[in-house]
Chains A and B, each alone.
Chain A
Amino acid sequence: MKSFEYLRPGNLAEALDLLERFGGGAKPLLGGTDLTVRIQKGQLDPDAVVDLKRVGEIGASIDAEGDTVTVGARVALSDLVRSDLIQTHYPALVEAASIVGSIQIRNRATLVGNICNASPAADTVPPLIAYDASLTLVGLGGGAAATRGTVLRRDIPLEDFFLGPRETVCASSELVVAVHLPLPQQPFGSAFGRLTRRRGVDLAVINMACAIDSSGITTFVFGAAGPTAVVARDESGELARPDLPRSRRDELLQSLVAKTNPISDVRSGEEYRRAMLLTIGGRMLLQAQQRRIARGRGGR
């Protein structure tokens, strides 16, 4: 591993100041399960690593306030999975977060880290988008004297956050500090599914989330099927209906999957990916339908 400086700010202003001073040469560190690996492999060569784990203003808990659940950036995936709040309202996110790596990885990796790493195959991203997640970014104000040096916040829908593989709208001098999830209006049904090369810990060949909201709109978010997650919606309400004839269902699914752009790579060929998007899509739709019906009856 190349040399870099290790810095551990004690507050947010200090952290942001460091990021700005290094002008893109500093990388934020939380769980390190992506960052440290990429540095060791020579894919990244930062001048400094800024450890955010002692920055108190960055949330380390999951809280509900009004009709929003907020996950602080310091929350590790294993804590997310155990959270009653998340299990109750966002089962597809629990399903996704539970299979990111191994328990050793999930004990360190954070939800925000998984998002910011911006891998097209990230498992938590499809369900988060399906649940209408948004992010809070912070950065130091520049420009006019009144805002220079102050911590400015901006919120952005997760759907708009990704620009390409490992590229997001987060500037090198900014940090994502929280993920916000609106409480879904019931009845709401969601599911997460993916395909891997082995049953054990693996990266996804394809993954996806399917959500059907209270008005019957079906949203699919496909991962590992394009440079960023692909969102495809059926606004007609047809896919929400369990009694929809199979051929019509497949036709609609096909039109949604057609928005993806899967490639061939070392993990899978393109044709197989396309076929699996449909196959797994059908299964996830069924699961989302069933869960929505259960919620409608007051179940979990």
Chain B
Amino acid sequence: MKQGIVGSSINRVGGLARVLGTQMYVADVKLPNMLHAKLVHLDCAHARVRSIDCREALKVEGVRAVLSAADLPRPIPRFGPTYQDRPILAEETTLFHGEPVAIVAAESEHAAEVAASRVKVDYQELPAICMVTQALDPSAELVQDPAIRGQGPFKNTNILDEWSFGWGDVENCRADTVIENTYTFPIVTQFAIEPFTFLAEPTADGITVYSAIQIPYGLQRILAAVLNLPLSRVRIIAPDPGGAFGGKQHPKLEPLLAYFALRLGRPLRLELTLAESFQQARRAAAEVRVRSGFNSDGTLVFQDIESNYLIGAYADIAARVVSKASYVAAGPYRVPNVRILARALLSHTPPSTAFRGFGAPQENWAVESQLDAAAKKLRLDRVDIRRKNLPGPGEVFMPHDPPADGDWAECLEKAAEAVGWGQPLPEGRGRGIAMGLKAGPTTAASYTIVRLHLDGSATLYSGTSDMGQGARTVFSQIVAEELGVALEQIAVVMGDTSVVPFDLQTSASRSTVVMGNAIIKACGDIKRQMAELAAECYGVAVDRIRVAPGMVHLPEGDHSFVEVLQDRFGRVKGEVIGVGSARNEYVKEHPLGGPPAFYEVVAIAAEVEVDRETGETEILKLIVAGDVGRAINPQAVSMQDEGAAVQGLGHSLMEQYILDAAGRIRNLGALDYRIPTTKDVPRELRSIHIENADGPGPYGAKGVAEGGILATAPAIGGAVEEAIGVRIRDLPLTPERIWTALNRPPLPD
């Protein structure tokens, strides 16, 4: 790259405001005449509401109104990104711990809080379905009313949907060794440091909603439907989220808040507590039963995978999570015969939503652990058994999908080398290694506008959400590279549907690739226009003009962009507007709606030390080797890998929702839901970038940012097994669980 911009670790754009404390998050937005809201919810998962008495609440000084289902039209408005199943307020029954039954609006947050505590709800607690076995039981009560389930074979069950994928003939193929195990993955939550906060502002002809939503246009569409407003009158302002990890992709309480705000005619703000935030976003728990067949040389013969995901009371995006993750569940390997069955199961737990990895960590936990089990049984090295089965670049490994798009063996080798694979280990220590695979985006629609101003500076408009991954930075680098504009002269505008053009979503590690490609096109559009402007201005034929970043080359000499703009526009002035888009269309015949634009593949290696007497585990080394294509900003890639790996460390060692038998979450909040602190992270945490410029994005880039969490659990699980000699198949690997496995081993099958 001529400029040396791409491939440079320039400082985070937007970083300065963040270190100064001037960055505006949604909770920092204050509007005049603002009211404050507080939710009323029950301390149980499943309940029948008999009555709601708001009289005492309404007497609290400063309270303006209380809204409950009784005040809503029938049928109660429902919403959701795929299934419109979630009511804006619970009607007669609550289906999860934290589902709101009423909402209070008051002049102050304190008054709203006091009033909410005085709303008297008379309810009857009902049994809750919060385990896979319960949800699968055909005689179990139905979580959702069949009346809202539409048509379909699962209407009268707790199965939202079921998917079957595969190829070959699992039933009739022959394998020297067959291993079967069941693995479990707990409910965990994103725990972004920014709790959910929303603000709805009625306007003269519509509404403006502030939300740190990753998908502003998705929220716009859903609000327009719920409120019966045209898209053009629904404005979403989406400040950069204070962490999201997928949990802020889809609407949660915005529809309720917007509805209430319109009724009140005043701006209405709702800030959830951290505990309430835990009740709004989490990852689906899963039980994955895998039967794997191997030849005695370690090559895979078949994978037979049955996955049951406990998705919660409403669908949110769970159907997509389960189908997309299970589709590639067999992993980045050559497997002649595959049978996959996956189910999304409704339950009386908070609706699961997108969370970094999108179902893949659950599958990889199971399938990679199986490879370790096979290696043990066949007396093979765990790196060797993987190497044997990895496809080479360009090799088809899933019969109807794009071939392997990277050198995945290189990821494996580099991770193994970095962790010191094969070197002697002292007693009590172990190493593990695992591959992770996730399918990239299938459909896409990203539009962007770039404006080149008279002084040569540029403004970029993009609907991507910069939630910490550094989208503003990467996009600035692309504009700088393509147009030769200095980085300090680039402004990036995001997060306002009335200003930035349409973007389908920020998810699936897509933005560098999809929006990046759109930006390249927009810059190309500008360069084309610069050639035309120069032709007009200097009287030269367009085909004799060559445009380079920042410079127009004519036969008789060069002119900078600024010169051309000034010479052409003169005193009447003007600007150049470039438009670009990138789309991947929906493919009906494909089970996922389209082939993935790229695969996100990673090798993760870990070295741990376990205290056998207490079960305490220390992670000494954690290595992430990702097939990134091209690291446009190497530091940003490392930042994402490290953060994802530590988040994976969390669900590997310490994170889980603890539910009681009635579905109540007992460890809401920071005190008893433990995430890694500075003292829990590995002494050595490394991100290795495998760059072969073989991605579909700008300069050969692929998507990154989810890699580090895809296979952390099996890598750590394998390391723990080597350290203690016992394999544990349930997460998290808490000290207590490890101790129990060593001292109270389960009865043999």
Contacts and interface: CB of A to CB of B under 8 A. Distances in A.
A7 to B, nearest CB: 19
A42 B116 CA distance: 13
A279 B736 contact: no
B748 to A, nearest CB: 21
B389 interface: no
A293 to B, nearest CB: 24
A266 interface: yes
B613 interface: yes
A200 B113 contact: no
B22 interface: no
A197 B614 contact: no
Given A1-B110, A198-B654, A275 B667 contact: no
Interface string A1-31: 1110000000000000000000000000000
B117 interface: yes
Interface stretch (B450-458, B496-504, B669-677): B669-677
Contacts of A266: 658, 666-667, 672
A195 interface: yes
Given A266-B658, A275-B743, A200 B676 contact: yes
Interface in B648-702: 653-654, 658, 666-667, 671-672, 674, 676-680
A70 B534 CA distance: 85
A195 B676 contact: no
B676 A2 contact: no
A1 B654 CA distance: 30
B672 A195 contact: no
A297 interface: no
A2 B114 CA distance: 7
Contacts of B613: 279
B91 interface: no
A237 interface: no
A269 B666 CA distance: 14
A201 B736 contact: no
Contacts, number: 57
Contacts of B744: 271
A116 B293 CA distance: 61
Contacts of B735: 195, 197, 272
A199 interface: yes
A55 B1 CA distance: 69
Contacts of A271: 740, 744
B141 interface: no
Nearest to B619: A199
Nearest to A265: B666
A200 B739 contact: no
A203 B667 CA distance: 13
A268 interface: yes
B68 interface: no
A197 B734 contact: yes
B contact face: mostly helix, strand, loop, or mixed: loop
Given A267-B672, A272-B739, A279-B613, A199 B667 contact: no
Contacts of A197: 654, 674, 734-735
Contacts of A272: 735-736, 739-740
Contacts of A202: 674
Contact of A200 (B614, B671, B680): B680
Q: Which of A3, A195, A198, A280 has the most B CB atoms < 10 Å from its CB?
A: A198
A276 interface: yes
A42 B618 contact: no
A205 B677 CA distance: 18
A198 B113 contact: no
Nearest to B736: A272
Given A42-B117, A268-B736, A272-B736, A199 B672 contact: no
A85 B496 CA distance: 60
Nearest to B117: A42
Interface in A179-217: 195, 197-203, 205
A82 B736 CA distance: 34
A26 to B, nearest CB: 20
Contact of B736 (A198, A200, A269, A280): A269
B680 A198 contact: yes
Interface string B637-648: 000000000000
B658 A198 contact: no
A1 B108 CA distance: 12
A195 B117 CA distance: 37
Contacts of A198: 653-654, 674, 676-677, 679-680
Contacts of A275: 739, 743
Nearest to A37: B671
Contacts of B654: 197-198
A201 B677 contact: yes
A201 B679 CA distance: 8
A245 B653 CA distance: 36
Interface string A67-95: 00000000000000000000000000000
Contacts of A276: 614, 739
B676 to A, nearest CB: 7
Contacts of B740: 271-272
Nearest to A282: B613
Nearest to B678: A200
B674 A195 contact: no
A215 B159 CA distance: 69
Q: Among A2, A197, A269, A276, which residue has the most Cβ atoms of chain B within 10 A?
A: A197
A200 B616 CA distance: 12
A203 B671 contact: yes
A206 to B, nearest CB: 10
Contacts of A201: 677, 679
Contacts of B677: 198-201
A195 B658 CA distance: 20
Nearest to A201: B677
A199 B671 contact: no
Contact of B113 (A1, A203, A205, A280): A1
A214 to B, nearest CB: 30
A5 B110 CA distance: 15
Contact of B614 (A2, A3, A195): A195
A194 to B, nearest CB: 11
Contacts of A268: 736
Nearest to B669: A41
A275 B117 CA distance: 42
Nearest to A283: B613
Q: Which of A42, A201, A266, A272 has the most CB of B within 10 A?
A: A272
A46 to B, nearest CB: 15
Interface string B600-632: 000000000000011010100000000000000
B195 to A, nearest CB: 15
Contacts of B743: 275
Contacts of B114: 2-3
Interface string B19-60: 000000000000000000000000000000000000000000
Contacts of B658: 266
Contacts of A203: 671
Interface in A39-57: 42
A37 B744 CA distance: 38
A148 B39 CA distance: 50
A197 B675 CA distance: 10
Nearest to B671: A203
Interface in A228-286: 266-269, 271-272, 275-276, 279-280
17 contacts: A2-B117, A3-B114, A198-B674, A198-B679, A199-B679, A200-B678, A200-B679, A200-B680, A201-B679, A205-B736, A266-B667, A267-B672, A271-B740, A272-B736, A275-B739, A279-B614, A280-B614
Given A200-B674, A269-B736, 14 more contacts: A2-B114, A197-B654, A198-B654, A198-B680, A199-B680, A200-B676, A200-B679, A266-B672, A267-B672, A268-B736, A271-B740, A272-B735, A275-B739, A280-B614
Interface of B: 110, 113-114, 117, 613-614, 616, 618, 653-654, 658, 666-667, 671-672, 674, 676-680, 734-736, 739-740, 743-744
Identify the 7 closest CB pairs spanning chains A and B, nearest first: A200-B677, A200-B679, A272-B736, A199-B679, A279-B613, A266-B666, A199-B680
